[in-house]
Amino acid sequence: MHILQPKHTKLKPQEVKDLLEKFNISISQLPKIKSTDVCVPEGSVRGDVLKIDRKEEDKTYNYFRVVA
């Protein structure tokens, strides 16, 4: 992983369930990321949800993607 690349973390099933309930969405409504993307952690398969931590100035913003 490159130093400028945001941290990508695979969520556990319970975390995915909580996320979907929090935002009242289904997994198909999440933005997609290709499984061949170099940022995707090893061992991630289609349907896994990734949390991306992007740092901007003093804050960290969380983004979520589903592996397609």
| Closest-CA residue to 66 (of 6, 3, 10) | 10
Tens digit of pLDDT per residue, the chain (68 long)? 677 788 899 999 999 999 999 999 999 999 999 999 888 999 999 999 999 999 888 899 999 999 99
| Residues 40, 33 contacting (CB under 8 angstroms) | yes
43: domain CATH number is 3.90.940.20
In a domain, 52, yes or no: yes
**Total domains in the fold of the chain:** 1
The whole-model pTM stands at 0.86
| Residues 50, 63 contacting (CB under 8 angstroms) | no
**Host domain of residue 48:** 7-67
Strand locations in the chain, DSSP E?
7-10, 32-33, 49-56, 59-67
In a domain, 62, yes or no: yes
Q: Phi and psi at residue 46, in whole multiples of 5°? A: -55, 130
In a domain, 41, yes or no: yes
Give the contacts of 61 (CB within 8 A, at least 6 positions apart): 53, 54, 55
